[in-house]
Amino acid sequence: MLNVKEKGDKAVFKYCKAFDGVKMKRLAVSQKEIDKAIESVPSELQTAILQAKKNIELFHNSQKEEVRKIETMPGVTCWRQSKGIEKIGLYIPGGTAPLFSTVLMLGIPAQIAGCKEIILCTPPDKKGKINPAILFAAELCGISKIYKVGGVQAIATMTFGTETIQKVFKIFGPGNQYVTMAKQMAQQYSVAIDMPAGPSEVLVIADESANAEFVASDLLSQAEHGIDSQAILITTDEKLGKQVVDAILNQIELLPRKAIAEKALKNSKLIVVKNISEAIELSDLYAPEHLIIACKNANEVAQQISTAGSVFIGNHSPESAGDYASGTNHTLPTNGYASMYSGVSLDSFVKKITYQELTKEGLGNIGQTVMTMAAAEGLDAHKNAIAIRLKK
């Protein structure tokens, strides 16, 4: 981190060579590169990304807060208003999967929030290129400043700024353990982050009405994420539990990421409980990032849940729908953090400023209250700010 602070771009180039194995001449992606990349994205994928964008936009637009002016006493009016965080940075990891879906999940609400400067950092491949679908998604979200830099050095550039890349106020996005640690360090230099990150997880609550094949496919789509992923099944029906295990053993054979999924399943659990209440209680204690409810009256069960990142209701709502395109955000609290954090939403990209306006009458109405309280807290200048006005 500190090397980038001191040496700027020079340090970044050095780390690009060391960690990404590519000698870079410039970090910024040119408009020409973007245009060329867009042409190479298959039209079927372009259509899918556009559809996902539309849904994510609709849902995040609905999170806008109207300004409500509240007269708490006659002549004392309070309200709050959201303003976009001026400068933000998005980090999109490279590695095995090109996460253009995460570009949408972060870029769309940033655009709706009215963030003025949105920059994106993502590591180049060995040829110094970025996956075209990432550039296509970024362009759709109005992100014009894209830099080919990954890992700790990317977080450091957005924290301190360099000759090429400017410092931001808040950094968003997933990453490996080094990126996560770098984001934690960034907080010590007055940069905010979206949320603490950990391994991903799904919990499925299923009763005898669930479809074992569906449940197995949901557990596996979590397991393929990484070897530290966790997939939990809580069921009231032991028979269903066994069917799900059988279905997993069948389905896993066909997966390209079988080796990863197998390792992840070693961390995973199948728990048989007496009734749905017990399942809800256990789930709340676990605080799952993703919760799938595959049982009768799924909507009622969902209402009783008090802790989860995102909830998928019924047999036709797989996690992958929310991961890509239903409209909800896929950047969610993992590792038990759903007990105290919300997922990324429009809120994450704004500051909510409060305002108050008092009329002369309003100050008269509230004056005695403030003066009495200020005096009791021993803060006479606070009292005086009222008294001096009331005297006029």
Q: Between residue 92 and residue 111, which ones bind its own copies under the rule CB under 8 A?
A: 96-101
Nearest approach, Cβ of 283 to its own copies (angstroms)? Answer: 12
Q: How far apart are CA 107 and CA 48, in angstroms?
A: 17
User: What does the block give as tokens for 18?
Assistant: 């060391």
Residue 3 vs 345, nearer CB to its own copies: 345
SS (H, E, C) 222-262: HHCCCCCCEEEEEECCHHHHHHHHHHHHHHHCCCCCHHHHH
Q: Which one of 186, 244, 279, 386 is in contact with its own copies (CB under 8 A)?
A: 386
Q: Between residue 136 and residue 165, which ones bind its own copies under the rule CB under 8 A?
A: none
Residue 153 vs 317, nearer CB to its own copies: 317
**Per CB under 8 A, 24 contacts its own copies:** no
Q: Of the ranges 3-11, 151-159, 237-245, 311-319, which one interacts with its own copies (CB under 8 A)? A: 311-319
One-letter amino acid at 301 equals V
Q: 288: Cβ–Cβ under 8 A, 6 or more apart, which residues?
A: 201, 202, 203, 232, 308, 309, 338
Cα angle 302, 249, 269; round to 5: 45
Q: Which one of 166, 169, 242, 262 is in contact with its own copies (CB under 8 A)?
A: 169
Q: Which one of 176, 209, 251, 267 is in contact with its own copies (CB under 8 A)?
A: 251
Nearest approach, Cβ of 70 to its own copies (angstroms)? Answer: 5
289 catalytic residue (yes or no): yes
Residue from 289, 316, 319, 330 carrying the catalytic annotation: 289
SS (H, E, C) the chain: CHHHHHHCHHHHHHHHHHHHCCCCCCCECCHHHHHHHHHHCCHHHHHHHHHHHHHHHHHHHCCCCCCCCEEEECCEEEEEEEEECCEEEEECCCCCCCCHHHHHHHHHHHHHHCCCEEEEEECCCCCCCCCHHHHHHHHHCCCCEEEECCHHHHHHHHHHCCCCCCCCCEEECCCCHHHHHHHHHHHCCCCEECCCCCCCEEEEEECCCCCHHHHHHHHHHHHCCCCCCEEEEEECCHHHHHHHHHHHHHHHCCCCCHHHHHHHHHCCEEEECCCHHHHHHHHHHHCCCEEEEECCCHHHHHHHCCCCCEEEECCCCCHHHHHHCCCCCCCCCCCCHHHCCCCCCHHHHEEEEEEEEECHHHHHHHHHHHHHHHHHCCCHHHHHHHHHHHHC
**Per CB under 8 A, 317 contacts its own copies:** yes
Nearest approach, Cβ of 26 to its own copies (angstroms)? Answer: 27
Nearest approach, Cβ of 148 to its own copies (angstroms)? Answer: 19
**Per CB under 8 A, 378 contacts its own copies:** yes
**Per CB under 8 A, 379 contacts its own copies:** yes
Q: Of the ranges 30-38, 90-98, 138-146, 175-183, which one interacts with its own copies (CB under 8 A)? A: 90-98
- Residue 242 vs residues 128, 232, 237: alpha-carbon distances, Å: 48, 14, 9
Q: x/- site string to its own copies, residues 40 to 79, per CB under 8 A? A: ----xx-xxx-xx-xx--xx--xx-x--x-x-xx--x-x-
Q: Which one of 80, 129, 145, 263 is in contact with its own copies (CB under 8 A)?
A: 80
Nearest approach, Cβ of 304 to its own copies (angstroms)? Answer: 11
**Per CB under 8 A, 253 contacts its own copies:** no
Q: x/- site string to its own copies, residues 278 to 307, per CB under 8 A? A: --------------------xx--x--xxx
Q: Between residue 327 and residue 366, which ones bind its own copies under the rule CB under 8 A?
A: 327-329, 333, 335-343, 345, 347, 350-360, 362-363, 366
**Per CB under 8 A, 122 contacts its own copies:** no
Nearest approach, Cβ of 339 to its own copies (angstroms)? Answer: 5
Residue from 139, 224, 225, 290 carrying the catalytic annotation: 290
Residue 139 vs 224, nearer CB to its own copies: 224
39 catalytic residue (yes or no): no
Residue 274 vs 392, nearer CB to its own copies: 392
Q: Between residue 203 and residue 232, which ones bind its own copies under the rule CB under 8 A?
A: 211, 213-214, 217-218, 220-221, 223-225
Q: How far apart are CA 317 and CA 294, in angstroms?
A: 9
Residue 27 vs 261, nearer CB to its own copies: 261
Q: Between residue 171 and residue 200, which ones bind its own copies under the rule CB under 8 A?
A: 187, 190-192, 196
Cite the active site residues: 289-290
